[in-house]
Amino acid sequence: MSVTSHEMQHDDHHGKPYGITRWLFTTNHKDIGTLYLWFSFLMFLIGGTMALVIRTELFQPGLQFVDPHFFNQMTTMHGLIMVFGAVMPAFVGLANWQIPMMLGAQDMAFPRLNNWSFWILPFAFLTLLSTLFMEGGAPAFGWTFYAPLSSTFGPPSTDFFILSVHMMGISSILGAINIIATILNLRAPGMTLMKMPLFVWSWFITAFLLIAAMPVLAGAVTMLLTDRHFGTSFFDAAGGGDPVMFQHVFWFFGHPEVYIMILPAFGIVSEIIPAFARKKIFGRTSMIIAIASIAGLSFIVWAHHMFAVGMPVAGELFFMYTTMLIAIPTGVKVFNWVSTIWRGSLTFEPPMLFALAFVVLFTIGGFSGLMLAIVPADFQYHDTYFVVAHFHYVLVPGAVFGIMSGVYYWLPKWTGNMYSMKLANWHFWLSVIGVNLTFFPMHFTGLAGMPRRIPDYALQFADFNMLSSIGAFMFGFSQLLFLVLLVRTIRGGAKATDTVWEGAHGLEWTISSPPPYHSFTTPPQVK
Amino acid sequence: MSEAPKDSQHLRVANRRLATRLTLATVAMFAFGFALVPLYDVFCDITGLNGKTGRIETSEVRADRVDTSRIINVEFVANLNGDLPFRFEPGIHKIQVHPGETRRIHYVAENLTDQTIVAQAVPSVAPTVASRYFNKTECFCFSQQTLAAGERREMPAVFVIDPDLPAGVTTMTLSYTFFAAPGSDPVALAAIPDNHR
């Protein structure tokens, strides 16, 4: 064997592999992060298309475009895909790219496991999406799959749905284990836990939430499966079970889940606001304590999703007060963001625009959440469009804007290229106007009593629904600008500097843009 | 948490130990999801939430504890779950009882189809604050009822209200809902012609 070929082999081993196998077999945290982000963007577009089917049907009162059963399949699949396919994988993608770089680590703690946790996902979602083409249609019982809608009355495709939820759960749990191990064992010398960037902190806590909550979801779908096929009666009153218990088990997972979808966004925004206000984050320690308190409280508030099932007064009061308690740590966070902005030298680059919109619009979603926490008021709001407005405000301009601001912040670092500010500004303004036009009127229709998950509505809601539909198309199509921007930035553009942003601090900005395939092969010393 | 381990051998051990612990935590939470089921039942039994009624043995009833100074109105309600093709009603709709007094009532069920149906009645008492004072010594809801085609059956229930019933309660409602027993095919039941329902 000649020296040259030996050297080439050597290079192959350490360099970047090429072609499809690079992506199939990769154990590199940056490659896997990229895979996660593209996957979640694809799911975002698929789930968004379903949302537009819903909004098309609701453009006018009456039944025009789709039949009600298909409408129900769309609301169900839209929810499942956005929650498990778009928002969660996007955060895991950001974690994969950023956590090793922010901690000065070479890679994640378990690189092969990392490959596996990603590659489970496409199969999980192929399984889920394939139910649309099955006899009896896709699951149509809402993303919350309440029994007996999903047990006795679920279509045959429910079993495929159960399998796909199991796969998503395994993927999330493996990802969470990997992230915790990376954070605890791979920090650069001198990087104490309290010195960790807030994005890493938010993911550290989120990973524990995933480990505590996802297995309960797996338990719920397993009970559903045995109820459907193996003669158990977990949720069947005739056999001694109770359908209300399904809701308890589901929401015991479901409430921590909503914080799984927002805490990493808190972390991202806590990185970006100080960078563009050119100040240190106000109240760093209180930010960490607030995230931890929100995570802890998330396990004792679940029944506020089910005030209307007929709980005893003592139970309703308990869950009402604990829910309201969450407003305190959340208020601390909002206060700290605003205080960081206060008297800062602000500039309004795209990541900052998205982060500021996040703070304002997430807070609106938080306030409507407080309204929903009030038991007597909730009896009126339950299952109306007010609830739809609430959770879309915390998830779209909340979680999704958080993800987008993170992408705009780190994209020049990842690609080495600066994106077009003009295109990014267009994307931001169309998105922020579209999102408000879509979801703000839903507060009014909901308070006036328009029920959710119904393909038709009373005539008095027609104008607001038309506005919502226009806003939805505006928001949906403006995401194509984001796609164009991403592709153009990856292909080329003005070279980004290593620091990229004037006020950015942290280890990821000390390495080149784009970073080497294996960054921090020797750990940096953190002072 | 101490400083991150330095050399690769230690790191490997530390990673593996942490992964094992977190996997165990995952398994424990999966088990906890299932543990919620009995926990939920126990919690409802203890507190009487969810309208769950008490069950006592006949020997536990103490005849000397009848509180003749109080009169409680007890109302009886019958419901059918879904499309169960039964006729189902209480023998009497309302009675007055003293706390501590043992009373016997009955419900009547009739299978309206030409096939045998196994069904289970599930009781519930309102107001929920009173449900745990409502004790039954004998009830058709303690076991599944098998009704042959067209069979009509009188089914007894014997109850006694605990004299410790809170003072504010003057009326209680006992409701039974009949469910098709698990395993009976809801599709087959739904196929029964409408005029038999």
Rounded (10°) CA dihedral A158, A163, A166, A171: -130
- Are A189 and B3 a contacting pair at CB < 8 A? yes
pLDDT at B184: 64
A180, A217, A231: residue with CB nearest B183: A231
Provide, as residue numbers in chain B, all residues whose Cβ is less than 8 Å from the Cβ of A186.
4, 11
pLDDT at B61: 67
The CA distance from A372 to the nearest CA of chain B, in Å, is 23
Which of A498-507, B13-22, B180-189 is predicted with the least confidence, judged by mean pLDDT?
B180-189
Mean pLDDT, residues A485-508: 94
pLDDT of B190 higher than 80: no
Provide, as residue numbers in chain A, all residues whose Cβ is less than 8 Å from the Cβ of B86.
none
Residue tagged active-site, from A31, A257, A316, A508: A257
Under the banding of pLDDT at 50, 70 and 90, the label for residue A1 is very low
Q: HEC profile for chain B?
A: CCCCCCCHHHHHHHHHHHHHHHHHHHHHHHHHHHHHHHHHHHHHHHHCHHHCCEECCHHHCCHHHCCCCCCEEEEEEEEECCCCCEEEEECCCEEEECCCCEEEEEEEEEECCCCCEEEEEEEEEECHHHHCCEEEEEEHHHCCEEECCCCEEEEEEEEEECCCCCCCCCEEEEEEEEEECCCCCHHHHHCCCHHHC
Provide, as residue numbers in chain A, all residues whose Cβ is less than 8 Å from the Cβ of B25.
211-212
Q: Which residue has the higher pLDDT, A242 or A250?
A: A250
A393 classed as catalytic: no
Under the banding of pLDDT at 50, 70 and 90, the label for residue B191 is very low
pLDDT of A108 higher than 50: yes
pLDDT at A339: 97
Provide, as residue numbers in chain A, all residues whose Cβ is less than 8 Å from the Cβ of B180.
238
Interface of B with A in 66-85 (CB under 8 A): 81
A108 touches chain B (CB under 8 A): no
Q: How far apart are CA A176 and CA A210, in angstroms?
A: 6
pLDDT of A10 higher than 50: no
The CA distance from B106 to the nearest CA of chain A, in Å, is 20
A189, A218, A236: residue with CB nearest B182: A236
pLDDT at A173: 97
DSSP classification of residue A59: T
| Non-local CB neighbours of A410 within 8 Å, separated by 6+ positions | A94, A97, A98, A508
Q: Choosing among A236, A251, A253, A260, which should be mutated to test the B contact, i.e. which has the most B CBs within 10 A?
A: A236
pLDDT of A517 higher than 80: yes
Provide, as residue numbers in chain A, all residues whose Cβ is less than 8 Å from the Cβ of B14.
184-185
B47, B49, B179: residue with CB nearest A237: B179
pLDDT of A314 higher than 90: no
Mean pLDDT, residues A105-113: 94
pLDDT at A411: 97
pLDDT per position as a tens digit, A441-465: 999 999 999 999 999 999 999 999 9
pLDDT at B186: 46
Highest mean pLDDT among A104-108, B4-8, B178-182: A104-108
pLDDT of A6 higher than 60: no
> Taking CA atoms, what residue in A is nearest to B130?
A312
Strand partners, A53: none
Q: Choosing among B7, B22, B125, which should be mutated to test the A contact, i.e. which has the most A CBs within 10 A?
A: B22
pLDDT at A127: 97
Q: What percent of chain B has pLDDT over 70?
A: 80
B188 touches chain A (CB under 8 A): no
pLDDT of A395 higher than 90: yes
Q: Which residue has the higher pLDDT, B50 or A129?
A: A129
pLDDT at B1: 42
B146 touches chain A (CB under 8 A): no
Residue type, A61: P
A392 classed as catalytic: no
Strand partners, B54: B135
Residue tagged active-site, from A26, A76, A172, A182: A172
Mean pLDDT, residues A297-317: 91
Mean pLDDT, residues A99-124: 96
A177, A220, A311: residue with CB nearest B33: A220
B194 touches chain A (CB under 8 A): no
pLDDT at B187: 46
Under the banding of pLDDT at 50, 70 and 90, the label for residue B59 is low
Q: What percent of chain A has pLDDT over 90?
A: 89
Q: What percent of chain B has pLDDT over 90?
A: 26
pLDDT at B62: 67
pLDDT at B164: 86
pLDDT at A436: 97
Under the banding of pLDDT at 50, 70 and 90, the label for residue A471 is very high
A271 classed as catalytic: no
DSSP classification of residue A495: B
Mean pLDDT, residues A193-201: 95
- Are B182 and A239 a contacting pair at CB < 8 A? yes
Residue tagged active-site, from A119, A143, A146, A426: A143
Mean pLDDT, residues B109-132: 86
pLDDT at A2: 40
- Tokens 């506020």 appear where? A304
Phi-psi region of A29 (alpha: psi -120 to 50; beta: other; left: phi over 0): alpha
Q: Choosing among B6, B23, B26, which should be mutated to test the A contact, i.e. which has the most A CBs within 10 A?
A: B26
Mean pLDDT of chain A: 93
A78 classed as catalytic: yes
- Are A185 and B5 a contacting pair at CB < 8 A? yes
A317 touches chain B (CB under 8 A): no
B34 touches chain A (CB under 8 A): yes
pLDDT of A148 higher than 70: yes
Reference B137, options B162, B104, B107, B159; nearest CA is B159
B36 touches chain A (CB under 8 A): yes
Size of interface A-B (CB pairs under 8 A): 110
pLDDT at B50: 62
Provide, as residue numbers in chain B, all residues whose Cβ is less than 8 Å from the Cβ of A152.
186
pLDDT per position as a tens digit, A41-62: 999 999 999 999 999 999 999 9
Q: Choosing among A171, A245, A309, which should be mutated to test the B contact, i.e. which has the most B CBs within 10 A?
A: A245
